[in-house]
A and B are shown apart, each in its own frame.
Chain A
């Protein structure tokens, strides 16, 4: 069974009466367990909107009779399209990890506390969360930087801490929105290699939104978007992948 299966995803933002943006215009997508998928496309192509819906941060538009069918969004075969905010939040907490372009660590918390926070939200006790956070930071090579605040860490270190936060609950699905966008090429390569490593060793599924061709080339599969539609879906020749 597919890990993630979506059909007829539409998302329209009405900014004003005349300014309506159709960010997604009917997207079907299936992602298998263990895949590392890049979603690529120019700005405004709808790739971030798609990731927000797949990551349960936003909901797809409901059916419009006579115009569009009801959307389907299945994770492990469970329907997500109609869940309320509380249920979606719980699934985000325990079954998904998120990595963002601008790292998005809480500035007042240390790296360890930031990572432990995600464990806490998924229901771990304080001590459990701290132990799991320490282990996750070790995995990303940040064990010796655990007690530093984000402002005391470099961009690459912050992103590694963010990856540790995404990994702490051992989710099957990790969503990464331009994870290398704010890093220089060397740090970007390190972060990418780290994700690739977890994908290979732990079998975690990664969905990356990027417009960096090198990031796309490092994945198993590239989905290309334009104007709110998927315009290409290709396998990456693994002999070229790192």
Chain B
């Protein structure tokens, strides 16, 4: 009570300090939520690539969109250490897709069940059903949670992709990673759509049934994955492989740097907030010199004075942290609501981020209060009493 009264008698200064902490924590919450989302995308990818090898065409350089030949599947199947190899088609859903933050909406085509149960990343339908092998040849799709929302798809309704009309037979549960923005369709339909996208000079030479975007290889249990990948690259001309470990290395390190920058920005703003707590508490100590002298004279020990002032600083930090978390959560919710219609969920505010933000603000306040509090406790009570 006394503590709140002490804070209350310097409303403006306390308010400004709390605002400083609030902004820092707000930045921390928003940026951390962004980092969380990126991390969970990466984790999803890491899980997806986990124990498999993805083979793509490398003839056009590293960023080839040229298809791989379906014949390669047979060649890969014969390599030692390969359990199952299945062709897949993947392409961007919109022909004129602009670059957006977050994963683009993607069409994924594969023969349902071809993986022979090797895929560890399990998808579940929240409405309707998943694709089956019987869907081959049918214009049907199953949609990820985010893309279904962004395209206002309803179960049993129609969906037009690149001029072709599909029936929506299922909508997936959210996975918080790539499948949320993916549209799944039968393999042969996807093949013919991929074929239509190829430049005529290539499409004239191959038929739709001969091509795929990539070949997903599930190695035998215990197989030496890098060795299998090398063998595939040797066996299939112009092929490039990506293993789970490579994915983690490439993507993981990039996003780690990104996360570090984001966290750094938030921490710098918190440092500024912390300095303003030090300033407020130092001013508060100077203002209350006499009061501290009285308390010391009538028997308050140094520790007691330190505790009192540090607690005050901690409450400033705590209140700032709570407000910052509230505003940060508001931004996250609003931005996600706005992004949802575009299928882009940018933020993920986790309970641990929330706890960390408020805890950090409180600790920051307490730590910032240490120096002024200790200074106050060291004052000569008699000199403090004479202070005007």
Task: Give residues in A with beta carbon < 8 Å to B.
Answer: 52, 57-58, 85-86, 89-90, 92-94, 98, 100, 104-109, 113, 117-118, 121-122, 165
Residues of B within 8 A of A94 (CB): 299
For the complex of A and B, list the 3 residue pairs with the smallest distance between their C-beta atoms, beginning with the closest: A93-B299, A121-B299, A104-B294
Pairwise interchain contact A52-B298, C-beta atoms closer than 8 A: no
Q: A52-B382, A107-B291, A108-B9 are in contact. Are A57 and B302 (CB under 8 A)?
A: no
The docked-state distance in angstroms from the alpha carbon of A93 to that of B296 is 9
Asked if B290 CB lies within 8 Å of chain A CBs, one says yes
Q: A104-B294, A107-B291, A108-B2 are in contact. Are A90 and B382 (CB under 8 A)?
A: no
Residues of A within 8 A of B2 (CB): 108-109, 113
Minimum CB distance partner of B299 in chain A: A93
- Taking a contact as CB atoms closer than 8 A, the residue among B9, B290, B298, B385 that contacts A92 in the complex is B298
A-B contact count (CB 8 A): 56
Q: A108-B2, A121-B304 are in contact. Are A92 and B291 (CB under 8 A)?
A: no
Residues of B within 8 A of A85 (CB): 302
Residues of B within 8 A of A118 (CB): 298-299
Asked if B301 CB lies within 8 Å of chain A CBs, one says yes
Residues of B within 8 A of A57 (CB): 297, 381-382
Minimum CB distance partner of A94 in chain B: B299
- Taking a contact as CB atoms closer than 8 A, the residue among A90, A93, A107 that contacts B298 in the complex is A93
Minimum CB distance partner of B388 in chain A: A102
Between-chain CB contacts (< 8 Å), 24 pairs: A57-B382, A58-B380, A86-B301, A86-B302, A89-B296, A89-B302, A90-B301, A92-B299, A93-B298, A93-B300, A93-B301, A94-B299, A100-B385, A104-B293, A104-B385, A105-B294, A106-B294, A108-B2, A108-B5, A108-B6, A108-B9, A117-B295, A118-B299, A121-B295
Residues of A within 8 A of B300 (CB): 89, 93, 121
Minimum CB distance partner of B293 in chain A: A104
Report the count of interface residues on B (CB-CB < 8 A). 21
Minimum CB distance partner of A93 in chain B: B299
Pairwise interchain contact B385-A122, C-beta atoms closer than 8 A: no
The docked-state distance in angstroms from the alpha carbon of A108 to that of B385 is 16
Residues of B within 8 A of A106 (CB): 291, 294-295
The docked-state distance in angstroms from the alpha carbon of A120 to that of B291 is 16
Residues of B within 8 A of A98 (CB): 297-298
Residues of A within 8 A of B290 (CB): 104
Give residues 357-388 of B contacting A (CB, 8 Å): 380-382, 385
Residues of B within 8 A of A107 (CB): 291
Greatest chain A CB density within 10 A among B6, B294, B295, B304 is at B294
Pairwise interchain contact A92-B297, C-beta atoms closer than 8 A: yes
Question: B285: shortest Cβ distance to chain A, in Å?
Answer: 15
Question: A119: shortest Cβ distance to chain B, in Å?
Answer: 10
Question: A47: shortest Cβ distance to chain B, in Å?
Answer: 14
Residues of B within 8 A of A92 (CB): 297-299
Residues of B within 8 A of A165 (CB): 298
Greatest chain B CB density within 10 A among A90, A108, A122 is at A108
The docked-state distance in angstroms from the alpha carbon of A176 to that of B382 is 14
Question: A86: shortest Cβ distance to chain B, in Å?
Answer: 6
Residues of A within 8 A of B301 (CB): 86, 89-90, 93, 121
Greatest chain A CB density within 10 A among B6, B299, B300, B304 is at B299
The docked-state distance in angstroms from the alpha carbon of A103 to that of B357 is 44
Residues of B within 8 A of A100 (CB): 297, 385
B3-34 near A? 1/0 per residue, CB < 8 Å = 00110010000000000000000000000000
Residues of A within 8 A of B296 (CB): 89
Pairwise interchain contact B298-A117, C-beta atoms closer than 8 A: yes
